[in-house]
Amino acid sequence: MKYIIKSKIVAPSIITFIVVIIFFIVFIGKLTFISVPDEYTEVISNIPAETSIYANTLGIPHIISDDDNAMFFALGYFHARERLFSMQQAKIISQGRMAEHYGSEYIDIDIFMRAFRIDSIADKCYQNADNRTQIILKYYADGVNQYVADNKNRLPIEFAAANFIPDEWRPKDCFVMARYWSFVLSNNIFTDIAASNIVNKLGLKGLELYPKYPENAPYILDDKILQFKEDTIRLIDTILVDTIFDIASFNTEMPKQVQNDNASSTYYDEFTSASLLTRGLAPVLNTKFGGQPLKFGGQPLKFGGQPLNFGGNPLKLGGTTTEFYRNPLKFGGNPPNISGNKTHYYNLNENNNVLLSNLTRGLAPVIDFARNNKDFARNGNVFARIYNVFARIYNVFARDDNKNNHPVSAIALPPLHRGELFPSCGGVGVVNARDNIENVISKLYDILNRQGANLGSNSWAVSSENGNIVLASDSHLPINLNPYWMPVHLTSPSYNVIGICLPGMPICLMGRNDNISWGNANMLIDDIDYFVHKFKDDSKTEYLNSKTEYSKIASLVDTLKVKGALDYYFYQDFIDGNAVLKDKYIIDLKENTLFPNNNQNTKDASNYLTYNWTGSYVSNEIGAILDVMKGRDWKDFIAGVNNWHSPGLVFTYADIKGNIGAAPRGLIPIRAKDLDPRIVNPYWKYENTWIGFIRPSEIPTSYNPTKQFVFTANNNISRELNSYVASSYSLESRAKRFYELATNISEYTFRDAQIGQNDIISVYAKDLIKKIAPALKHYNNLLTKNENIAHKILLDWNYAMDKKSVGASIFAMFLSKIIENTFADELGDLYDLYIHNPNIPMQKLLQLCSEPTSEWFNNVQTKDRTEHLNYIVITSFKDAIAELTKLYHTDNINKWEYGKFHTAHYIRSYNYFPSLNIYTDIGKVSIGGCIGTLNCGEWSLSSPFNVNVATTMRFISDMSSDYCYAIISRGISDNAMSLHSSNQHNLFNIGEYNTLSISRSVDNMFKLEVKFVKK
C-alpha cells in the first residue's frame, strides 16, 4: 500500500519534470532558430524602385530591380541576412575593438591592428571615391541597416552569446572590408618578421633560406609554352657516406638529430606576479607627498583600509631612495599650457600637478578593483594591469638627474602604457610568451583561422581551336564554417552579373556579365616593409631620420574599451606619420648596421619598428570592380582594373568574341637601393625608403598570347619585374601541372576546367622524388624490410595526393621529416617561424638537392661528423616510417591511407563561444590535395595531414554558352541554424557545381524570398 502511494506521488513529479525539460528544449530550440529567415518577407523601404530577391534551392540569390541603387540596397540587405556576424567581426577586428566585445585577452591584438589604421584609411578612401561609388555604398549600407532594424530580436545566436548589438554599417565600412581583405592576404606581414628573426640569429647567411623564383619555371606573362629544364641529379660517392656513419650499426642505432632545447623564455606565474606587485607597488602606496591624502572622486584612496597619502619623503623603489631631480615632487603649481595635439616636454620640477593627476586617475580604479576583487590572488590579468601601472610610474618619475625632460600627453589621460607590445620598466623589457610581434600576429591569425600561408588562387582562361572560351577561378583560403565567398546574380538596368562576392562589399571579384568574364588570383606583391630606428639618446624621444637629422616622435593617446574591465589607455607613437610597433633587433652601433655578423656578442638593440604598407594609400578598389562589372570588352576591363591597388591581384579575362588576357594589377613599391624587402631594414640609411611605385597601369599585360591560354597560380609575373614584385612565391608546381593539362587540347570545355580545378597530381612530389630516389635506391640495404616496402610504394606512386593513396601518406611525412632534418638544427626555436609558409622551405629543399654537400644538410649539433644529402634522405625516410607506424597504430603499410588523417576540420573562425560548438562543429572531412596541387589541401610541415588551407570556392564561365558554374565549400549563410549554412558542402567535395543562367529573368529553380516595396 505504501508502494502504491509513493508511486502516485512520484509519477506526477516525473511527468512534471519531463514536461519542464520538453518545454525548455522547445524554448531553446525556438530561441536558437529564431534567427533563420522566413520563407517570404515583404520589406517596406524608401528605395527608388520595387526590387525582388529570388533564391534557388541552395540559397543562391538572384536580385532583380529596375534601379541600380535599389539593387545594391537589396544586396546589402541579403548580405546582412546571411552574413551579418561575419561582417561585424571583420569590422571590429579591423578597427581594433576585440577587447571591447571579448575581454582583456585581446588588448594586444587591438593595439596591433590599430597601428595599421584601417578605419582611418577606409574613411579617406571613401571621401576620395567618385560620386557614383559613394552613392552605391550608401544604398548598400542602408540595406544592411534596414535588415538589422527589422530583425533586432532575431539576430544570429552569436550576438546574444557575445552580448552586443551590431554597429550601424557605414558606407565607409565597405572600404574597411576591402582593407581587411588586403591585410589578410598579405603574406609578408608575418614572413618579414620571421625572416628578420632568423637573420638576427644566423646573420645574413639566414637569407640563403629564402630562395628566388626559379628562372626555368612558368611566368604568368610568358607568351609561349616553354620547355622547363630539370636540374642535373648527382649522387654522392659511397665512400663519403661510409665515413659519416657505421653502416653495420645503421639499422639498429640510426643517429638521431639533436634537438635544440636551448630556447629561453620567461614566464611569469601568479606567484611571480604577486612578488612583482609586492616589491613594486608597495613603496608607491606607502609614499607621502605634502601630508595630504590623495583623493579620487572626492574620496581619499584607501589600500588595506588606510588612506593613500602623499608626503614629503622621496619615493623608495626596491629599498633604495630615488630623488626626483634633487627635489621631491610638489603638489600644486599651474598646469602646462597645452594646445592642439602636439607633444610637449616639461621639466619634472615644474607643473607636477598634471602628472600627479594622471597618476591619481590611473592608479585609483585599478587599486579599488584589485582590492574589491575576491579572485584577486588568482587573477593574473589584475597583476599584469597593476604591474603595467607601476612600470608607467617608474618610467615617468624614476629618471636619471641629467635627463630631466619627459613627454606629457596633450590630453590629460592616465599614461598607463607606452609602447604597444612591450610594457617596459626603466628601459628593461618585461616580456612574456606573447609579447613579441610574431606571437601577436600568430595570435591574430588564430582568431582569423589563418593558419596556412598559401592564401592564393588559380585563375585561367583558355581559347581553344574550336572557338570555345572558358574562364575558371578558384580560391585557396583557411577552412572554416564562416564562408568568405557568396555566389550572386545581380540584374538592374546597368548590370547583369553572375559573380562571387565578399559580403561587406557590393562587388563581384570573379564574375561574368553579358559580354565578358573575369577572375583573379593573389599577385603576392611584397606589399609591406618594416624599419628599425635609432635614437639620439636613451629617452627615445628623437629618432634619426632619413636626412641624417633628428626628429621628434609624435604621440597620441588612444583608448581601448575592455569588456568587464577598466578602459585601457596607451600612447600610440608615430615616426614620419607611421605608427610604431615594437620588437627587438640587434644593431651594431659602431658599424652603423643592422644584424651584425657577430650579433651574439652585441648588446645594443632597438625595439622601435615602423612599416610601409601599400594598403595605407588611398585608392578605390570598389569603384574599379564596379566598372569591370559593366565592362563590354578588354578596353573597359583594363580601364577598371587599372584602379585596383591593394591587395595585388592578377586578373584574368575572357569575352564572347574569343579574346582572353591577363592583367597583373596592384601598387608595387620601388625601393631604395640596397633595401632588402625580405627583412627589417635600418630606417636611417635611406633618403627615401620607397622611392615611388610602379602604378597598376604601368604593369605589362598578356592579351591573346600565342600559347592560347593565360594562367596564374601565385607564381611570378615576369622576368622583367622579378626584383620589384615579391620576395616569396608559391611553388611553381601548380603552374607546371596546368601546362601539362592545357597543352594540345583542341576543344577545351567546361568539363576540362572542372577536371583542372579538382586535379590532385603533385608535380612538386614528382620533381623531389626524382632528385632523392637515387639515394634511397643506392642505400636500400640500410632500410628495414618494412621500410623497403614503403620505399617501393613511394617509387611506384603516381604522385596523386588522393584520399585512398598510401604513397601520398609516405611522401607527406617524408617531406616533413627531410625539411626538419635539414633546417631545424640551425634554426632551433625559430624553425616554426621558417616553415610557417611551406612554399619557402619546400622550394629551398628542391634547390638544395642539386647541392648534395651543402652545409645546410650538415647537422650543427653533431661535432664528430659532417652530414650531406644522402644521410638526410635515409635518416628522414626512416624517421617518416617510424612516425607513420605510430600515427596509424600499425606497421601494415597498406592501411596508411592519406585521407584518414589528411582532413579538414570545418570550424567557425569567429566562434568564441565553445557552448555553441554543438550547433556549429560538423567534424573532420577527408580531402585530397596538398599545397602543390591545383586542388589545394595545405597542411603545416610541423603537423602533417591536418589541413589548414584548402580550395573554398570554384567558378567557371563558359563564354560559348549562357551558363556559369559556381560552388562554395560550405553554404550561403554563416548562421549555423540555417539550412543554407553547409548545403553546398557535399556537392563541393565531389567536384560538382551549381549551374546558373545569365538570363535576366528567373526560371522555375528560383522562388521569391524578399520583396522590397516603396513607402
- pLDDT at position 976 over 70: yes
Position 592 scores a pLDDT of 62
Query: Is pLDDT larger for residue 759 or for residue 328?
Result: 759
Summarize the confidence of residues 479-494 as an average pLDDT. Answer: 86
Confidence of residue 304 (pLDDT cuts 50, 70, 90): very low
Confidence of residue 657 (pLDDT cuts 50, 70, 90): very high
Q: Which of 499, 483, 498 is nearest to 982 (CA)?
A: 483
Position 705 scores a pLDDT of 95
Position 831 scores a pLDDT of 95
Position 752 scores a pLDDT of 94
Position 928 scores a pLDDT of 94
Summarize the confidence of residues 665-680 as an average pLDDT. Answer: 93
Q: 674-714: per-residue pLDDT in tens?
A: 899 999 998 988 888 999 999 999 999 999 999 999 999 99
CA distance 790 to 773: 13
Position 326 scores a pLDDT of 27
Query: Is pLDDT larger for residue 601 or for residue 530?
Result: 530
What separation, in Å, do the N-terminal and C-terminal C-alpha atoms of the chain show? 73
Highest-pLDDT range among 291-300, 306-315, 453-462, 667-676: 667-676
- pLDDT at position 198 over 80: yes
Position 573 scores a pLDDT of 86
Q: 123-153: per-residue pLDDT in tens?
A: 999 999 999 999 999 999 999 999 999 999 8
Confidence of residue 17 (pLDDT cuts 50, 70, 90): low
Position 22 scores a pLDDT of 60
Position 639 scores a pLDDT of 98
SS (H, E, C) 228-296: CCCCCCCCCCHHHHHCCCCHHHHCCCCCCCCCCCCCCCCCCCHHHHHHHHHHHHHHHHHCCCCCEECEE
Any idea what the Cα angle at residue 794 is, between residues 789 and 795, rounded to 5°? 100
β-strand pairing of 428-429 with 946-958: unpaired
Q: 293-302: per-residue pLDDT in tens?
A: 433 344 443 4
Summarize the confidence of residues 839-860 as an average pLDDT. Answer: 94
CA distance 179 to 122: 7
Summarize the confidence of residues 10-19 as an average pLDDT. Answer: 64
CA dihedral angle for residue 966, residue 971, residue 973, residue 974, rounded to 10 degrees: -130
Establish whether the linkage from the previous residue to 214 is cis, with ω within 30° of 0: no
Q: Which residues have a Cβ under 8 Å from the Cβ of 840 and sit 6 or more positions away? A: 191, 209, 210, 211, 728, 834
Position 557 scores a pLDDT of 82
Position 588 scores a pLDDT of 62
Position 595 scores a pLDDT of 65
* Helix, strand and coil in the chain, % to nearest 5: 40, 20, 40
Position 310 scores a pLDDT of 33
Q: Which of 528, 776, 795 is nearest to 646 (CA)?
A: 528
Ranges 678-687, 776-785, 939-948: which has the least confidence: 939-948
**What's the predicted TM-score (pTM) here?**
0.79
Q: Where are the beta strands (DSSP E) in 160-243?
A: none
Ranges 112-121, 242-251, 746-755, 862-871: which has the least confidence: 242-251
Position 156 scores a pLDDT of 83
Summarize the confidence of residues 823-842 as an average pLDDT. Answer: 94
- 88 near 102, Cβ under 8 Å? no
Position 271 scores a pLDDT of 27
- pLDDT at position 325 over 80: no
- pLDDT at position 541 over 50: yes
Position 482 scores a pLDDT of 60
Summarize the confidence of residues 470-497 as an average pLDDT. Answer: 90
Position 37 scores a pLDDT of 79
Position 454 scores a pLDDT of 65
Percent of the chain whose pLDDT exceeds 70? 71
Percent of the chain whose pLDDT exceeds 90? 50
- pLDDT at position 548 over 70: yes
Position 986 scores a pLDDT of 86
Summarize the confidence of residues 213-230 as an average pLDDT. Answer: 80
Q: Which amino acid is at 66?
A: D
- 192 near 688, Cβ under 8 Å? no
Ranges 303-307, 701-705, 735-739: which has the least confidence: 303-307
- pLDDT at position 353 over 50: no
Q: What DSSP string runs through 381-402?
A: HHHHHHHHHHHHHHHHH---TT
- 948 near 907, Cβ under 8 Å? no
| Other Cβ atoms within 10 Å of 334 Cβ, number | 9
Summarize the confidence of residues 194-203 as an average pLDDT. Answer: 89
User: Residue 854 region, left (φ>0) first, then alpha (ψ -120 to 50), else beta?
Assistant: beta
Torsion over CA: 866, 872, 878, 882 (sign): positive
Q: 247-291: per-residue pLDDT in tens?
A: 232 332 222 332 333 332 222 222 233 333 333 333 344 343 333
Compute the mean pLDDT over every residue in the chain, rounded to the nearest whole number: 78
Confidence of residue 344 (pLDDT cuts 50, 70, 90): very low
